[in-house]
Amino acid sequence: MRQPMDEVVPRIWLCGVRNWLTTDAVTKVIFTTSWDLLTSTANRCVTETFKTVVRQTGVVHNWPHLAYHEVTALLCLPHLAWSLVALENYSVAVMSSSKAERVKKYSTKDVFGYFSNVKDPDTGELILRPQDVRRNAANFIIAGSDTTASSVAATFFYLSHDPTAYAKVAQEVRSAFESASTIKAGPILNNCVCLRAAINEALRMAPAAPQPLWREAEAGGCVVDGDLIQASLNVGAGIFSLQHNVDAFPDPYKYDIERWIIDPRKGEVKEKERIKEMSRSWAPFFVGSR
Ligand code: HEM
């Protein structure tokens, strides 16, 4: 069925807005400066570049040999060539304006300032070469903006299709805070269990990184689920499959915020144990220290 344009256009616009919003926020945190995508049209194509790079990364993750054969990769994925150059240019631009901020205000502290000035304690020399700083800058922008944008979009998408969950979350947030302008990070927000459940469930159903994140077995190999994996072999579990495992998440394709909320009728201790066990299969940020 064709949708009327007045419904389609705001949706397309909203898709852009969430990317602009999170890219502005993430670049501010990391570089103190931003492209002001929300208020200026000048650099909005930056988010298109990110989207292309993320798609290509998804392909290369599942076809890792491409990464070692640049010519084949560029032939198979011609978009890769221009998007990598564009990404490089965007990273250089944001780094220069971040440096300019530091000249204006010496006390400016941000993530970029820290990692570009890390020195070897023995020699006093900078650890990261300029090209490493550039690559890390690009990684940070993409790692932070696209993931957050997709997760925000997924949460709104599922909530807008589930009036009961939406009403529960809205009621909780509206009774916790007096007005929209008083909403801020802290204990009150952390106590919004329905909101947290809505976000967890969206991250479960639509993980921003759904693919397997391969890990190489170290010397001596490792045992996974009773099977010996020999050293130097790669192993990985797709996050999407893990988070749709029916044993851990009954009715896994249903957006159900209740699975994350303690049901007092079933006993608090038992419910806490159930959620703890279920959380072992929830890994949108993957597992371990990273
Ligand atoms: C909902 C939001 C996010 C999701 C779902 C997400 C997910 C992930 C995942 C799955 C990884 C791979 C971890 C691994 O290989 O073990 C990762 C790595 C990373 N993320 Fe995020 N992320 C999010 C937000 C952010 C933000 C806001 C930033 C920075 C401002 C960020 C920066 C990074 C960096 C730098 C890495 C690489 C870490 C490393 O290789 O050591 N991420 N993220």
Euclidean distance between CA atoms 22 and 18, whole angstroms: 6
User: What pLDDT digit, counting tens, does each position of 135-193 carry?
Assistant: 888 888 888 888 898 899 999 999 999 999 999 999 999 999 999 999 999 999 999 99
pLDDT of residue 138: 81
What is the CA(7)–ligand 1 centre distance, in A?
Answer: 33
Q: How far apart are CA 120 and CA 127, in angstroms?
A: 6
- What is the average pLDDT value for the chain, to the nearest integer? 85
Burial code of 193-208, b = ≥16 C-beta within 10 A, e = fewer? ebbbbbbbbbbbbbbb
Alpha carbon of 139 to ligand 1 centroid (Å): 9
Residue 93 phi, psi dihedral angles, 5° rounding: -65, -45
Token digits for 118? 């890390």
Q: Which atom of ligand 1 is nearest to the CA of 203?
A: 5
Ligand 1 site, CB within 6 A: 26, 29, 139-140, 143-144, 147-148, 151, 208-209, 213, 284-286, 290
Strands, E assignment, the chain? 215-216, 222-224, 227-229, 234-235
Element (H, E) at 136: helix 130-160
- Closest-CA residue, ligand 1 atom 43, reads 285
Query: Which 3 state secondary structure label does DSSP give 202?
Result: helix
CA of residue 144 to ligand 1 center, whole Å: 7
The pLDDT of residue 268 is 96
CA 290 to ligand 1 centroid distance, Å: 8
Return the pLDDT at 54: 75
Question: Tell me, what's the pLDDT at 10?
Answer: 41
- Tokens representing 122 are 């023995």
CA distances (Å), 39 to each of 17, 34, 248, in order? 10, 11, 43
Ligand 1 atom having least distance to the Cα of 140: 35
**Residue 139 buriedness (CB in 10 A; 0-12 / 13-18 / 19+):** exposed
Nearest atom (ligand 1) to Cα of 136: 35
How high is the pLDDT of residue 90?
81
Among 285, 287, 289, the mutation site with the greatest number of ligand 1 atoms within 8 A of its Cβ is 285
What is residue 73's predicted lDDT score, i.e. its pLDDT? 66
Q: How far is the CA of 202 from the centre of ligand 1 (A)?
A: 17
Q: What is the pLDDT along the chain (290 residues), one digit of tens a residue?
A: 333 434 433 444 455 667 888 888 888 888 888 888 889 888 888 888 887 777 777 777 666 666 666 666 667 767 766 777 777 888 888 888 888 888 888 777 888 888 888 899 999 999 988 888 888 888 888 888 888 988 999 999 999 999 999 999 999 999 999 999 999 999 999 999 999 999 999 999 999 988 888 889 999 999 988 999 999 999 988 899 999 999 999 999 999 999 999 999 999 999 999 999 999 999 999 987 76
